[in-house]
Amino acid sequence: MKKSAFIALTVLYLCLNGCTHLPEIPSLKTWLQPYERELLADPYMNFNHDPITQDFRRHVYETREGANGGFNSKGGGCGCN
Amino acid sequence: MVALTARGAAVGATKLNRKLLIIYCLCSGLISSLPGALIHSANAATLPEERADLGFNYYSGDGLRVTGPVLLVRKNILDQYSISANYKEDNISGASVDVRSQASAYSETREEISLGGQTIIEDSIISLNTSFSEEPDYESTSIGFAIAHDFFADLFTLNLGFNRGWDTVGQVDTNLDEDIHRYNFNLGISSVFSKRWLLSLDYEINMEEGRLDNPYRGAIIQGAHVLENYPGTRTGHAFSVSALNYRRPDTARRFYYRYFNDTWSVSSNTFEFSYATPFKQIGPELVIEYHVRFYLQNSASFYFDNAPAASKYIARDKELSDFNTVELGAVGHYDLSKWVKIYFNEVTASFGYTGIFFEYQNFTDLSKDRMLNFRADLVQAYITAKF
């Protein structure tokens, strides 16, 4: 928790209190109206619909492969010692 | 003020104080944004669904077994906030092949606790999270911040994220105590491409600094065992593209590709395809999600199975070698809602199995004097309640 952590925490605080007025994108013609998105509401049409399975597999990949993926569960549990 | 308080308190903080400080900042940051969030209550962004999951994980492969429970709870507050808590435990026993040749089998327990909070501010979702992982010879703490902003009639979502991690590397029966600093930035954009297609493009950069080699592992030079020595820094880049497609009746397909490379010359390509569909013989209550995954990796520049000569950096960690994996798996989700309707909108029982076949091109199993290959089995069983 030194200088970098202080900067990160400051950015977090400012974002939480300052993101209420993000700039508006000008209205352009959209190719899909809200009422046309019923199929996309299916629970499986969600990139994170099964967090338990995804988290377990991601942890296995992180500890068995050289390519690092997610971050939060990084470290430990690899059975390295 | 929160940040100033954090800075002052951080001076000379112990590890416990650091964890408490992170939780404090997480909570106070979310609470401090309350007025703004309440004023801007009209929004298109939605919080993740409320749910509770309780399950059990099992991993077995290459002489190693990892088992343990997992618990996830996510709850909304005032329709503007979502908080989550996740607990995992890994009970590890055995030893992998590159350890068996130089050490004996062991057993230990790793515990991980993750806390998260999300809030909606106009068309954006702000997320904060933190996690702690602890085992006898390794500790890991991280905090993360992310923002997802919907724009252009909610057809696009821009995702930005930053994570910071602090690890402490130890070694059983020694005084080893060295640090790793981790930084992660990610940027992504997802789009509603059509009535049936969702697309996502993502880029992620990971930077690590500190004791990156494993104190238990050794390398080999002309048949003689020596200690590994890794560079003190590593930067990795990952580019990925994924797509979700809905097909009638009631099936969804997912396509995924990722390219990764880093400053150690490790590069990899990952391909994945999954397919979720009801199991017609049983009925719509049972949905099976099949997946197949291919992973191809080139070795690090300082990796040697048996080095011909000494060099500044040297490794014999099979995770840095040249290898491929093929993975096949399926998860069944059975909807129990018609039996359990008292407190929950939906209750699902899930069971999954995944087999991963590892095939190494330049890592010799010294006990068998041939290239290593093995199968890893992953089993999961869990109950999900949505409310």
Q: Which residue of B has its CA nearest to A4?
A: B164
Q: Enumerate the β-bridge partners of residue B258.
A: B240, B270
Contacts of B21 in chain A (CB under 8 A): 1
B105 to chain A, closest Cα gap in Å: 9
Across the interface, of A32, A44, A65, the residue whose CB is closest to B252 is: A44
Chain CA centroid to CA B353, Å: 18
Across the interface, of B72, B126, B165, the residue whose CB is closest to A15 is: B126
Averaged pLDDT, A14-30: 54
ipTM of model: 0.86
pLDDT in tens, B15-52: 545 555 555 545 554 444 443 333 333 335 788 889 99
pLDDT band at A6 (very low <50, low <70, confident <90, very high): low
pLDDT band at B2 (very low <50, low <70, confident <90, very high): very low
Contacts of A62 in chain B (CB under 8 A): none
Cis peptide leading into residue B48 (ω within 30°)? no
pLDDT of residue A9: 63
What amino acid occupies position B168? Answer: T
Contacts of A46 in chain B (CB under 8 A): 244
Counting one residue from A and one from B, how many pairs have CB atoms under 8 Å apart?
Answer: 242
Percent of chain B at pLDDT exceeding 70? 87
**Widest Cα–Cα separation across chain B:** 70
Query: Are the CB atoms for B371 and B324 separated by under 8 Å?
Result: no
Averaged pLDDT, B45-67: 92
Q: Which residue of B has its CA nearest to A11?
A: B3
Contacts of B106 in chain A (CB under 8 A): 81
The answer to whether A73 contacts B112, with C-beta atoms less than 8 Å apart, is yes
